[in-house]
Amino acid sequence: MSDFIVEADLRETSGRSASRRLRRAGKIPGIIYGGGKPDLSISMEFFAISNMLDKEEFHTSMLEVKVKGSRGKNTVMLKDTQWDPIKDTVTHLDFLRVSSSDNVTIDVPVVAINEDKCPGVAQGGLVDLIRHSLEVTSRADSIPAHIEIDCAGLEIGDTVHIDDITLPEGAVVHHEVNFTILNVSAQKVDTSDDVDVAEGEAEA
């Protein structure tokens, strides 16, 4: 059974005008598709779904959507989230039907850990996360909530590439180039004040 259960209603009308009316009523439109079944247009309570979206695991877990007025069980994964660019609030959700044995590809967040044990940071350096997510392929029931990059022991100038990390069992990141995920860089020193002082002394 999924850790997340989404309550939804069937949506009889679609289009921008209908979606705007739903949002004004405190609901979010969405769609369930795939699995060889007809698409289901749905709506969900804004606050309930917003609270779930705040949880990291919601984005990479198998979910159960209970649709009032619809028969059968909807086991899905969140495939796409649309946001209002000004209000930064969710405006539409896409759910893909899946089963436990399905292989799915999904963006998984990258998290840097043990920065307090990083010699480069102790020396005044900064951990610079180049890739904030990775496109991971895995069984639907075992996609990791996030990928951890261990910073313990990294010095200034050290770089972590995709081939340097150990992914969870069964997870794959398809790549042709050994791209950079994270590096430890020296802090840039702002010399503008020194230049102003030097120029002032020269004028004097």
CATH fold label, 104-186: RNA Polymerase Alpha Subunit; Chain A, domain 2 (2.170.120)
Mean pLDDT, contiguous 10-residue spans, the chain (204 residues): 84 78 90 92 94 92 90 89 90 94 92 95 94 94 92 95 93 95 85 57 57
The per-residue DSSP string of 3-59 comes to S-EEEEEE----SHHHHHHHHHTTEEEEEEE-TTS--EEEEEEHHHHHHHHTSGGGG
In total, the chain counts a number of residues equal to 204
DSSP 74: E
* CB-CB contact of 143 with 108 (8 Å): yes
pLDDT of residue 1: 47
pLDDT of residue 71: 76
CB atoms within 10 A of CB 168: 14
Distance from C-alpha of 141 to C-alpha of 60, rounded to nearest angstrom: 9
Domain ranges of the chain: 5-98, 104-186
- What letters, b where the CB count within 10 A reaches 16 and e where it falls short, cover 115-145? beebebbeeebebeeebeebebebbbbebbb
pTM for this prediction: 0.78
pLDDT of residue 16: 77
In Å, how far are 32, 108, 136, 142 from 168, measured between CA atoms?
Answer: 28, 12, 10, 9
pLDDT of residue 73: 80
CATH fold label, 5-98: Ribosomal Protein L25; Chain P (2.40.240)
Phi/psi of residue 59, nearest 5 degrees: -80, -15
First and final CA of the chain: distance in angstroms?
77
* CB-CB contact of 81 with 53 (8 Å): yes
3-state SS, residue 72? coil
